[in-house]
Chain A
Amino acid sequence: MAIKLPIYMDNHATTPVDPRVVEAMLPYFNDKFGNAASRNHSFGWTAEEAVENARGQIARLVNATPKEIIFTSGATESNNLAIKGVAEMYREKGNHIITQVIEHKAVLDTCKRLEKYGFEVTYLPVEKDGRINLDDLRRAITPKTILISIMYANNEIGVVQPIAEIGKIAKEKGILFHSDGVQAAGKIPVDVQKDNIDLLSLTAHKFYGPKGCGALYVRRKNPRVQLSAIIDGGGHERGMRSGTLNVPGIVGFGKASELCQNEMAAESERLRRLRDRLKDGIFAKLDEVYVNGSLTQRLPHNLNVSFAFVEGESLLMGINDIAVSSGSACTSATLEPSYVLKALGVGEDLAHTSIRFGLGRFNTEEEVDYVTSRVVETVNRLRELSPLYEMAKEGVDLSKMNWKAE
């Protein structure tokens, strides 16, 4: 089969909308365009029915009930709503929040803002494998702790946190547990009951649904979680999130959830095989390559590799018919290398050389083989160009060099 270029292998950033999802959405742009909040005519009823159907599909994906799903504009809003909503609602109970250093910025920056308003936040470190230490978590809990926010799986390294254990600890201590589930949901089994999750952020576009459509699971029983709204208005979504619902988006979100649930077992197995093929292919042909983060506690479709002595942006430039991303500073807005890799203890020199591969539903074995050979060929070419590779081969200890940095 001929390969179509460019190849998209950046599925942690976003995913293409599945054609079956597009098909489900289309009628809701024109034929069935009603406002789900219109209670007095059939246009509204049709829209409402579609929304409620989708709510059920999404709830089933994470073993929740439909009433516990609150629609938002995406996971950034869901994270904001969960954390700020709990902080305001439970302020009397305490002002302490526990999170970890490798959360997405939507969690970290929300916590930083709350610190300005008098909240105290503990940012747990992670171990070398990218997971938090449960003893660190237990020690961080105080009588004033109202919320623990730990992501299900990380967006850069795909490492899955010990969610069930965290949920158990939170439950024992009577602390609410929020998890940013955007990378995990639809990819691996996520069960809010089994994991004792009280709030779970979700978004459609990470699992073959449309952009601009997210949800927050808010537990209604054991305990019943209350939230202060951050957007005021018409009182939609049980008063927790006002604003006219994005009906076509929500229909697509629901359909995407259903597809993920039905196909998860086979799909995750297929992607794991492709991911391992990519990793084995690269490791067989290159020396001095390192996987960042745990290989066992990891999403099946993620691979994050440092190619020592080859700067990430220059590697991306060499494989410009392949869409992946890098932890190199040069590719970030801040000119800092990945804070996630830094938190793992990956040296800044290696952080600059990291590439994230995110496999997805539409990647094929042929594409994986093409990517492998392009990466290997480009890394070899750039190493010929790299003074660091030359020095390392001569036996120079680069860490002992007195670098004249600017």
Chain B
Amino acid sequence: MAYSDKVIDHYNHPRNVGSLPKDDPNVGTGLVGAPECGDVMKLQMKINPQTQVIEEAKFKTFGCGSAIASSSLATEWVKGKTVDEALAIKNTEIVRELSLPPVKIHCSVLAEDAIKAAIGDWKKKKVVDSPATQTAAAHD
């Protein structure tokens, strides 16, 4: 199978590899896929609670070159975006950017899922942390 130059570039020089402290209230972690399926992506973002801007993004991926490239690209794209802007990223844009063949479209879907999962995790933390919900919980 021939890979596009962009996939090869991301594979050889993955951007933003690493991990962020997952217990940090401003960090959202998305872990999607399954080892049995041959793809697992971990995407983490550090989000400014005031501005809702994604200040940092890190990833680690178990998967084929296209999966590595999709998640590497995702970290590049979300950085500097607001949460809402990041949520608007579609897998088809990743497919186009990396020229993924049809059999690799699931890699881009996984990357989109990882973005949503990371932001979802961050939002969940916010709810738990916010004093309002704690009060509400106390009244129950």
Contacts and interface: CB of A to CB of B under 8 A. Distances in A.
* B and A form one assembly: yes
A339 to B, nearest CB: 14
Contact of A387 (B8, B14, B41, B113): B41
Nearest to B110: A406
Interface stretch (B56-64, B80-88, B131-139): B56-64
Interface residues of A, number: 29
A311 interface: yes
B25 interface: no
Contacts of B31: 387, 404
B38 A317 contact: no
A35 interface: no
A405 B61 contact: no
B38 A330 contact: yes
B62 A386 contact: yes
Contacts of B106: 406
Contacts, number: 87
Interface size bracket, B side: 20 to 34
Contacts of B42: 387, 390
Nearest to A404: B32
A152 B37 CA distance: 31
B4 interface: no
Contacts of B41: 387
A385 B64 contact: no
Interface string B26-47: 0000011111111111100000
B53 to A, nearest CB: 25
Most buried by A among B41, B62, B67, B103: B62
Interface string A243-258: 0000000000000000
Interface string A340-362: 00000001110010000000000
A317 B62 contact: no
Interface of A: 309-311, 313-314, 317-318, 328-331, 335, 337, 347-349, 352, 384-390, 398, 403-406
